[in-house]
Amino acid sequence: MLITKNKIIEDYKEKFLELHGKELVDGNNLQKYETLGELVKKYSAKDWASTNKEYSKLKNKQVYYLSMEFLLGRLLDNSLLNLGIRETCEEALKELNIDLHELEDMEQDQGLGNGGLGRLAACFLDSMASTNIAGHGFGIRYKYGFFEQQIIDGKQVEVADTWLKSRNVWEIKKTDKSEIVKFYGKVEMEVKKGKVKFVHKDYEAVLAVPYDTPIIGYKNNLVNTLRLWSVETICKEFDFSAFARGEFIKSQEYKNSVEAISLVLYPEDSFYEGKLLRLKQEYLLVSAGIQNIVNEYKSNGGNISLFNESVAIHINDTHPTLAIPELMRILIDEEGLEWEEAWEITQSSVSYTNHTILAEALEKWEVDMFKNLLPRVYMIIEEINQRYCKELWSIYPGEWDKISRMSIIGDGYIRMASLDIVGSHSVNGVAKLHTEILKNQEMSEFYSLYPSKFNNKTNGITHRRWLIKCNPELTELLKSTIGEGFMKKPTDLKMFQEHLKDSSVKLALANIKLENKKRLSKEIYNTKGIMVNPNSIFDVQVKRIHAYKRQTLNCLRIMDLYNRIIDNPNLDIVPRTFIFAGKAAPGYYLAKNTIELINSISNKINNDYRVGDKIKVVMMDNYRVSLAEKIVPAADLSEQISTTTKEASGTSNMKFMMNGAITMATLDGANIEIKDAVGPENIIVFGLNAKEVFNYYKNGGYNAWDIYNKDSRVKRVMNNLIDGTYSADKERFKPIYESLLNYNDEFFALRDFNDYIDAQDKVDKLYRDLDKWQEMCGVNIAKSGIFSSDRTINEYATGIWGANTIYRNL
């Protein structure tokens, strides 16, 4: 939008007065932040309304992205950037003696997600809006998002995330768009005009109330919507008759039990628990969402038989799978369609993304529990399954075992991924290797049955947040060398490679990195009290703490390096700062033990005078989007060391690459595509390949004790875990020790140990040639354009949704 500095000053002062009922000079930073947020919302309001008006004409396919998680982080800065008023606004505020960055720091992260899956959904929203796709996000407005992590005495302590404590300036409550969601009860059959109808009776109804957040496209006057559902009781807040009968407490209890449904995000990443409350959450999202989509479509004059031509419904992992039977229920019970027509519409509307092959993440619901909570939905799933198994029977006559493996319902459970494959027209993986594993291993029988449904869509990240916003100095360097084109068209970053011949450009790159490292060093000092050397290699592993991501492998090599320094205080190494951050699921014992280990190593090494300035270890608290934005631009080395085949894609690998870090990679997930993009000379690869890993799983042959006995360095670091080196309590790290040895670690950390250390020594050598190193960093930046989520969204739009870009005269 076009706006002058003076207009912003005037509007801002007026808005402040209106909101807070006092003069600007008397305000605090939180009030000033809220004022700016409201002003941004005001500036985007016209475009928001006109975008929705345009969508109501049904000229463009509407994409609904259903996800139990949206990890948005902060919205202020990116909204200003996308509106195109960030700089003008900064200047305007300066005249009012206000520092924009201070206001940005007042914003609480919107942390309604666990990690990669939720952050992907957030990047997709930004990319859909910025590339002119009519794409809406549907999710849940958890009162408490992902818990806040504090590290106390080296241990993780979970604190409730009260992100709604101060007002959320971005949302608008849309009471008139509420939907009723029904649980429990029974289903009765009625015959009306010779037609059988199923009627859901004696149910418990709750009210799903949406809150809308504007998703502002990058300088294109388009504003999409993120709609988050919150739950309320349908009855009046205060029931006087119940109060008079002395039943007030009871009605309060009821209110609490209803509101529990949207109270808190489940903090498990890649793990499924089978809890009733979680099933209620999933159905809340899906039922409110699908009713809302159908109602919107009909009120815009849409013909229900052509629904799939105007609507695409995408389900992010299996969590919103019930969208399939819920859409069937509405089409049949409420719209009166026949099964066959409803099925065709449903299948061609719905598409599904698989995010993981970890067995513990695969959702399956106990039939008895499910049937009791959602009786009509269960009937529909049963019918879907019956018709599908009949089809299987005709294709694979007599193959009982195969059919029972492929069945949607089996062993007393409903298998959500199977329902997705059968009920949708597209199943995608999130990186090349991951999709190949789905096709040839995990879902190979389904792939033979429906080969055309399977496809790959390699993940991406929005370069607006993960480059332009989080690394303004690098952005300036890029603008001054290759122009501004990359901001709209990120693949233009490739032109940067030409400029790397110029040694002044490489020097500028090095200086930008150093400044970013200094800034992070300050943050580390302020939050952890640890002094780190900005001239050391910043070696970073930040992500959820999980055995498959192998933070323990990282710990072991730091322990080994420490041993080498103790053995030889003159060891010639480039100083390094090891930076960790990440949350463990509260019930994940081993992950919590890993956090303790990292902090013990940090304590031990940072305080050993023999180590001096050579190495430092830091674990930063409460990893979240706003912290990632500070860490990513300051990293030299990006640790992406998951056991090959286990990390479906990864996205932090892309964030780091785009900011010029070198990747230390196993050939897993999107690391493979990063290697293909930058060439083998600009990435460091180590460890088992996919074939070797599958061979271990299939034929055995991994023996952790053998490695321990044969490799003295492995033996020594493993013993260090239990000999008091890192804790006076020798039992403290037994869980990690035992999982790696006695339980013969299913993630093969010890197998990759030596290869990992050699690769790290290679980094040490490479970094000494700073010109060469900066060249590598520059190539990584130049080749990162394809990892913009704009590319990913374009592939979804054309390859899955059949959604065109919108051109409007505005």
Residues that bind ligand PLP (CB under 6 A): 115-116, 119, 543-544, 623-625, 628, 650-652, 655
With vertex at residue 199, the alpha carbon angle to CA 193 and CA 203, rounded to the nearest 5 degrees, is 160
Which residues are within 8 A (CB) of 779 and not within 5 positions of it... i.e. 6 or more apart? Answer: 497, 500, 678, 679, 682
Please tell me whether residue 653 adopts helix, strand or coil conformation: helix
Write the single-letter amino acid at 476. Answer: E
* Catalytic (active site) residue 57: no
* Nearest to ligand PLP of 327, 461 (CB atom): 461
Structure tokens at 796: 């979804």
Cβ-based nearer residue to ligand PLP, 614 or 624:
624
Catalytic residue list contains 732: no
Q: Which residue is catalytic, options 182, 549, 614, 791? A: 549
Cβ proximity to ligand PLP, 151 vs 508, nearer residue: 151
Shortest separation between residue 232's beta carbon and ligand PLP, angstroms? 30
Catalytic residue among 278, 355, 464, 783: 355
* Nearest approach, Cβ of residue 628 and ligand PLP (Å): 4
Residue 276's CB: how many other CB atoms inside 10 A? 13
Contacts of 377 (CB under 8 A, 6+ apart): 283, 322, 325, 326, 329, 370
The one catalytic residue among 651, 663, 666, 792 = 651
Q: How far apart are CA 354 and CA 315, in angstroms?
A: 9
Which of residues 432 and 713 has its CB atom nearest to ligand PLP in the complex? 432
- Residue number, 565 or 749, with CB nearest to ligand PLP: 749
Q: Counting every residue, how long is the chain?
A: 810
Backbone angles phi, psi at 763, to 5 degrees: -60, -45
Gap between the Cα atoms of 454 and 451, Å rounded: 6
Angle between helical axes of 503-528 and 770-782 (0-180°, round to 10): 90
CA pair distance 176, 182, nearest whole angstrom: 18
CB of 361 to ligand PLP, least distance (A): 14
CB nearer ligand PLP, residue 443 or residue 581: 581
Rounded Cα gap, residues 327 and 334, in angstroms: 10
Catalytic residue (choose from 463, 655, 732, 783): 655
Q: Which member of 544, 557, 576, 783 is catalytic?
A: 544
Nearer to ligand PLP, 136 or 624 (CB): 624
- Residue 546 annotated among the catalytic residues of the structure: no
CA atoms within 13 A on the CB side of 267: 22
> For residues 149 and 652, which CB has a smaller minimum distance to ligand PLP in the complex?
652
Q: State how far Cα 265 lies from the chain centre.
A: 13
Write down the least CB distance from residue 208 to ligand PLP, Å. Answer: 27
Shortest distance (Å) from residue 552 CB to ligand PLP:
16
Tokens of 787: 């990892």
Determine the Cα angle at 603 with ends 599 and 608, to 5°. Answer: 150
Give CA angle at 312 (307, 316), nearest 5°.
Answer: 140
Q: HEC states along 570-601? A: CCCCCCEEEEEECCCCCCCHHHHHHHHHHHHH
Q: What is the DSSP letter of 107?
A: S
CB 483 → ligand PLP: shortest distance, Å?
28
Residue number, 44 or 552, with CB nearest to ligand PLP:
552
Q: Tokens representing 453?
A: 């449904």
All residues at 6 or more sequence positions from 605 whose CB lies less than 8 Å from its CB, including other chains: 558, 562, 611, 615, 616, 617
Q: Tell me the helix, strand and coil percentages in the chain, rounded to 5.
A: 55, 15, 30
**Is 197 in the active site?**
no
Quote the CA–CA distance of 374 and 1 in Å, as a whole number.
48
The label of the residue with tokens 């420490």 reads 562
Q: Measured from the CB of residue 241, what is the shortest distance to ligand PLP in angstroms?
A: 48
- Could you say which of 136, 434, 543, 616 is catalytic? 543
Catalytic status, residue 544 = yes
Which residues are within 8 A (CB) of 312 and not within 5 positions of it... i.e. 6 or more apart? 61, 62, 63, 64, 349, 351, 800, 801, 802, 803
Of 296, 269, 224, 274, which is closest to residue 65 (Cα–Cα)?
224
Is there a catalytic annotation at residue 655?
yes
Q: Looking at beta carbons only, is 149 or 407 nearer to ligand PLP?
A: 149
> Annotated catalytic sites, by residue?
355, 543-544, 549, 651, 655
